[in-house]
Chains A and B, each alone.
Chain A
Amino acid sequence: MKETTLLKKAIRTAYDNKKLFFLSIFLDILFFFVYGFATAPIYLKLMANVNIIGAHAGEAVKTATRDSQSMFSALSSEVIAPYFNNIIWLLLILAATTYLTYCIFQAVNWKIALQLTGKKIKYLDYLKKFLLLNILWFILFALYYALGLVVDIRKILISTLMQTQASNTLNVVLVFYLIFIAYFAVISYIKLNLRKSISTGTSKIKQLLPSILLIAVYLLALNIVIKLLASIHPLAGIIIGFILLLPAMTIARIYISLTIQKM
């Protein structure tokens, strides 16, 4: 079946099941709000700790350089160490909050998509598998986050110390790594089995790629439209962005579910 036929079927399915379609949209909105409210205080606290380290950094680096110590010993100095420890704890709390809110809300939404495409599974059974599968994806995503931070710091150091622009090769590699995680994660949400997901993802890549490209192109176009609108009128950008993004996310889930289940 061609990609467009499946897409039409996904839109038709969403249209025929308005209650579940709107429930899915509502849960996405709720997810964004809960995630925002839960993580905002953590981000604020992280910033407060980073600022304190930043304020003491000059002195610590000077002492470390004078005593020929490493940067790590500068970070473990008596003044900075407690705040550095705070940052590690806060990052762990942030990761746990993100993991939990993502799993609880997105498990319902993926379960709705599966239900609409004919796969019957109880929410709690689905949630259990979703929680387990996402442990791996979250560890890989945390690695992406940490590597991104290292690449950014490297870039800043090169531009300030060497007065030259660092190449973007590592950023491109990281983007491909993120696509790789997202690709297999999405397949696993439907297959619910890591081994099957990896084998489907690798052996059926030619059949899956057009569908995923279709979604990627839509989201990319949406990103450009929202940015353009937000530059003209910020509130209009947010409202139209939500109107265009939320139904698209639900339809995309149904569409991917249809595509993968057809294999």
Chain B
Amino acid sequence: MAKKEDIFLIIILLIIIVVLAWVIANLDILFPTPGAQALIESIA
């Protein structure tokens, strides 16, 4: 039978994996960057 601390480790790891996967899937929303056209316009 799995120990309590093993279950705790698995849960913590799963939470971190889900959070990281969510962050990676939503990089465009979390770190918005202007497109090439908008960038050229902002510099000009």
Taken residue by residue from 46 to 63, chain A's Cβ proximity to chain B (1 for < 8 Å, 0 otherwise) reads as 001101100110010000
Tell me if A90 is interfacial: C-beta within 8 Å of chain B: yes
Tell me if B39 is interfacial: C-beta within 8 Å of chain A: yes
- Chain B residues whose CB sits within 8 angstroms of the CB of A51 once the complex forms: 39
Q: How far is the CB of B36 from chain A (nearest CB, A)?
A: 9
CB pair B20–A41 under 8 Å, yes or no, is no
**Helix, strand, loop or mixed for chain A's interface?**
helix
Q: Which of B6, B31, B34 contacts A86 (CB 8 A)?
A: B31
Q: How far is the CB of B28 from chain A (nearest CB, A)?
A: 8
In Å, the complex CA distance between A48 and B32 comes to 10
Tell me if B43 is interfacial: C-beta within 8 Å of chain A: yes
Q: Which of B10, B24, B33 contacts A38 (CB 8 A)?
A: B24
Q: Which of A48, A89, A90, A97 contacts B20 (CB 8 A)?
A: A97
CB pair B9–A127 under 8 Å, yes or no, is yes
How many chain A residues touch B (Cβ–Cβ < 8 Å)? 23
Enumerate B16-44 residues with CB–CB distance to A below 8 Å: 16-17, 20-21, 23-25, 27-28, 31, 33-34, 39, 43
CB pair B16–A52 under 8 Å, yes or no, is no
In Å, the complex CA distance between A41 and B33 comes to 13
CB pair B43–A100 under 8 Å, yes or no, is no
How many chain B residues touch A (Cβ–Cβ < 8 Å)? 19
Tell me if A124 is interfacial: C-beta within 8 Å of chain B: yes
Given A93-B23, A128-B9, residue A49 in contact with residue B33 (CB < 8 A): yes
Q: How far is the CB of B35 from chain A (nearest CB, A)?
A: 9
CB pair A45–B20 under 8 Å, yes or no, is no
Taken residue by residue from 97 to 134, chain A's Cβ proximity to chain B (1 for < 8 Å, 0 otherwise) reads as 10010001000000000000000000010011000000
CB pair A100–B16 under 8 Å, yes or no, is yes
CB pair B17–A100 under 8 Å, yes or no, is yes
Of the listed residues B2, B10, B27, the one surrounded by the most CB atoms of chain A closer than 10 A to its CB is B27
Chain A residues near B (Cβ < 8 Å): 38, 41-42, 45, 48-49, 51-52, 55-56, 59, 83, 86, 89-90, 93, 96-97, 100, 104, 124, 127-128
27 pairs from A and B in contact (CB 8 Å cutoff)? A38-B21, A41-B27, A42-B24, A45-B27, A45-B31, A48-B33, A49-B31, A49-B33, A51-B39, A52-B33, A83-B33, A86-B31, A86-B33, A89-B31, A90-B27, A90-B31, A93-B20, A93-B23, A93-B24, A96-B16, A96-B20, A97-B20, A100-B16, A124-B2, A124-B6, A124-B10, A127-B9
Chain B residues near A (Cβ < 8 Å): 2, 6, 9-10, 13, 16-17, 20-21, 23-25, 27-28, 31, 33-34, 39, 43
